[in-house]
């Protein structure tokens, strides 16, 4: 007798089955999030009329101080994959941009810097004493567990008359409070679903040590650096644009703290400090003639 065995049924792994089951829900969710973002974009000019792009302002500020740097070395700490101001500074060999990052893998993608150095900004910033004409960072400081140590290293590595410029997300912004209210891997996953464009940008653990107006002023002063420029933006509702009720609540928060001038609660602080030219002289440090609307403390 010939026994004909039934062909083995193709068994799909449970995760693949689950994915198939959830696919319609996922596409509905994507549609919902996109629809919310569309409405938020339409409302934005009315809800946040004074919104400024702090990222562009940071680049312009770095470029304006670059022309006054006492040594032709600009250090982009936590530079990662990209150097946002590279196109605004001379690229004729008269200035060198040095990218410093704790992660060799991040730096490997960065082809905008002239030199790459791997190091932890809070331990031994890989720079000789007085080597740098400028030390700058964009969205690095919130990732440092010890900002005091970073500023001490900065002060050591800056040449007299050098500048340090930082764009710092605020500790008491709604997005920072949300990020710290839940474990970081979960916060990151949620943000990546709501704002997929943040993949590759919001990836690193956050501490928000000293990341607010007065603490930043204090830490620079404590290390002999004079704050020469500081400004804030309250604008942050974009982080919540995938869910309209949260977007509206955040825009209301922005409007209230903005009207009160509550700088401790700002979304971002853009701050620049200078190392005195000569420790024995009282030479004031000049601020280059740019930047309307800035304020120093
Ligand atoms: C949010 S990314 C910002 C990258 C880049 N500055 C930008 O704006 O596109 C933060 C970067 O800081 C780096 N970083 C985190 N902790 C650091 C530390 N202790 N020392 C040096 N770099 C650090 C990360 O590896 C990452 O590349």
Average pLDDT, the chain: 88
Give the distance (Å) from ligand 1 centre to CA of residue 76.
Answer: 10
Separation between Cα atoms, residue 183 and residue 185, nearest integer Å: 6
Q: Coil, strand, or helix at residue 165?
A: strand
pLDDT of residue 293: 37
CATH superfamily, region 26-274? Vaccinia Virus protein VP39 (3.40.50.150)
**Token pair recorded at residue 234:** 């309250």
Judged on CB neighbours under 10 Å (0-12, 13-18, 19+), 249 is: middle
pLDDT of residue 10: 63
Q: Domain spans of the chain?
A: 26-274
> Is 272 in contact with 207 (CB distance < 8 Å)?
no
Higher pLDDT, 197 or 34: 34
DSSP strand pairing (132-138 vs 73-77): parallel
List residues near ligand 1 (CB under 6 A).
78-80, 82, 84, 101-103, 106, 120-122, 138-140, 143-144, 201, 204
Place of tokens 């679903």: 193
pLDDT tops 60 at residue 157 = yes
Output the CA 78–ligand 1 centroid distance in Å.
3
Q: What is the mean pLDDT of residues 132-151?
A: 98
Averaged pLDDT, 219-248:
93
Structure token digits, residue 201: 């940008």
Higher pLDDT, 276 or 190: 276
Share of the chain above pLDDT 70, in %: 90
pTM assigned to the model: 0.84
- Which ligand 1 atom lies nearest to the CA of residue 201? 1
């Amino acid at each position: 007798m010939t026994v004909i065995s039934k062909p083995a049924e193709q068994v799909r792994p449970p995760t693949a089955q689950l994915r198939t089951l959830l696919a319609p829900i996922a596409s509905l969710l994507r549609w919902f999030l996109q629809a919310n973002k569309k409405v938020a974009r339409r409302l934005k000019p009315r809800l946040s009329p004074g919104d400024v792009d702090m990222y562009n302002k940071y680049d312009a500020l770095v470029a304006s101080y670059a022309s006054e740097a006492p040594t032709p070395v600009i250090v982009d700490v936590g530079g990662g994959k990209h150097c946002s101001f590279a196109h605004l500074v001379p690229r004729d060999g008269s200035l060198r941009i040095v990218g410093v990052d704790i992660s060799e893998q991040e730096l490997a993608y960065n082809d905008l810097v002239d030199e790459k150095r791997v190091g932890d900004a809070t331990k031994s910033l890989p720079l000789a004493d007085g080597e740098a004409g400028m030390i700058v960072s964009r969205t690095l400081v919130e990732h440092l567990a010890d900002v005091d140590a970073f500023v001490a290293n900065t002060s050591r590595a800056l040449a007299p008359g050098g500048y340090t410029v930082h764009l710092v997300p605020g500790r008491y912004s709604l997005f920072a409070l949300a990020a710290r209210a839940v474990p970081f891997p979960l916060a990151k996953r949620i943000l990546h679903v709501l704002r997929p464009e943040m993949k590759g940008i919001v990836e690193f653990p956050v501490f928000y040590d000293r990341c607010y107006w007065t603490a930043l002023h204090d830490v620079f002063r404590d290390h002999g650096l004079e704050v020469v420029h500081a400004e804030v933006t309250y604008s942050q509702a974009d982080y919540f644009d995938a869910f309209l009720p949260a977007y509206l609540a955040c825009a209301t928060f922005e409007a209230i703290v903005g009207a009160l001038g509550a700088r401790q609660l700002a979304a971002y602080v853009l701050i620049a400090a200078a190392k005195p030219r000569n420790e024995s002289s009282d030479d004031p440090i000049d601020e280059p003639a740019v930047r309307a609307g800035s304020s120093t403390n």
